[in-house]
Amino acid sequence: MKLIRAIAFASFSLLALSAASAQDKFPSKPIKLVVGFPPGGGADVVARLVGTHLGEALGQPFVIENKGGASGFIAGSAVAQSAPDGYTLLLGHVNALAIAPPASSKPPYDALKDFTPIGYIGFAPNVLVVNPKVTPVKTLKELTDLARAKPGELTFASPGVGSANQIAGVMFMNATRINMTHVPYRGSGPAINDLLGGQVSMNFDAMTSVTGYIKEGKMQPLAVTTRERNAQLPDVPTMQELGVKDFDVSIWYTLMGPAGLPKATTALLNDKLNEVLRKPELRDRLLSLGVTSKAMSPEQVTEMLRTDIARYATVVKQNHIRMD
C-alpha cells in the first residue's frame, strides 16, 4: 500500500512539474502588440511587418491592436497598466515616449519608469512635403521666401500636438525665423488627406506615409529631417545640407513592455527581435518604407530614450507646446 501511495505521489509530482513547466514556457499563447496610431499609417505598417516576423520566430502570432489618439498616450497607458507577462507589448514611438510626456501637464505615465525597453526597430525621417498644386514651390528657399512674404498665412499639418511632426515644424520656424500656423489632426491619415485636398500648405510627415504620394507626383518633397539622406529619396537633401543647422528629427520605433517584465522574457524578445531584423526580407522591406533598422540592447534603448526625452523637453518648454 505504501508503495502504491509513493508511486501515485511521484506521478502526481511529475504531472504538476510538467504543467508548471508548460505554464512557464514563454510564449505559450498569442502576443498582443499595441499601436498608438490608426491602421494604415507608418507605425501600423511597421508593427504588422515586425509582428509577422517575430511571430514566426517565437512560434506564436502577434495580434496588432490599434489604440489611436493623444499622440500615443492611449496605447501607452494601456500597456503600462497591463500585466508584465510579455503578452501585451507596445510599439514604442518617439511621439508617445519622448515628446508628448513633457508637453502634458499630467502625463499618464513616466516613459523611463513605467515601461521595460526590449529593443530598437529602426528610424525614419520626416519629409517636408507640399502639394505642388496649392503651394507651387520646388525648393526650401522658395518656401521660406514665400513664408516671409506671407507671415502666418502658410499652414503645416501634423498628426497631433506633441508629435515629432509638430516638433519638426517648430524647429524649422525657429531656425529660419519664419512664422507659420500649426494645424493638428488626429493621425497622419487626416493630415495627409487635407494636404492632398489643399486645406493646408505643407506637412512634415513620416516617410512611410508619404513616399507613395511623392512617387505619384501628388506631393513635392523639399527636405528630409534626419542628418543623412534616405536611400528611398536620394535626391532629396537634408535640412542641414540646405543650411538649417543641427536639424535632426526622426520617427523611431522600439519594442516596449510594461515595467517589471521578467529579465528572461526581455532577453528572449530582444534576441528574437534582433534576429528577425537581420533577415534580408524584413530589413529590405523596412528600407523600402524609409525605415533604417538597427539592433540595440535594452540598455541602449533606455539611454537613447533618456537622451531624446531631455532634448525634446527643451524644445517643448522653449516653444510652449502644450497638449492640455
Output the pLDDT for position 5: 52
Total number of domains constituting the chain: 2
Q: Give domain status of residue 94, yes or no.
A: yes
Per-residue pLDDT at 10 exceeds 80: no
Q: Give domain status of residue 236, yes or no.
A: no
Q: Name every residue whose Cβ is closer than 8 Å to that of residue 72 and which is 6 or more positions away in sequence.
A: 36, 37, 93, 95, 96, 97, 100
Taking Cα atoms as reference points, which of 193, 284, 309, 261 lies closest to residue 27? 261
Domain carrying residue 45: 30-123+251-318
Find the mean pLDDT for residues 262-281. Answer: 97
Per-residue pLDDT at 4 exceeds 70: no
Gap between the Cα atoms of 131 and 218, Å rounded = 6
Give the chain's radius of gyration (CA, Å).
23
Q: What is the largest CA-CA distance in the chain?
A: 100
CA dihedral 286, 292, 298, 302 (to 10 degrees): -130
Instruction: Write down how long the chain is.
Output: 324
Type of residue at 276: V
pLDDT tens sequence across 150-167: 999 999 998 888 888 999
Gap between the Cα atoms of 127 and 114, Å rounded = 31
* 112 and 38 assigned to the same domain: yes
* 112 and 133 assigned to the same domain: no
| Residue of higher predicted confidence among 142 and 20 | 142
Q: Give domain status of residue 186, yes or no.
A: yes
pLDDT tens sequence across 174-195: 999 999 999 998 777 889 999 9
- At residue 90 the predicted structure's pLDDT band, cuts being 50, 70 and 90, is very high
Q: Which DSSP letter does residue 154 get?
A: -
Per-residue pLDDT at 48 exceeds 90: yes
**For position 159, which CATH number holds?**
3.40.190.10
Output the pLDDT for position 198: 93
Gap between the terminal Cα atoms of the chain: 74
- DSSP3 helix / strand / coil % (the chain, rounded to 5): 45, 20, 35
Q: Give domain status of residue 246, yes or no.
A: no
* 110 and 163 assigned to the same domain: no
Gap between the Cα atoms of 30 and 221, Å rounded = 40
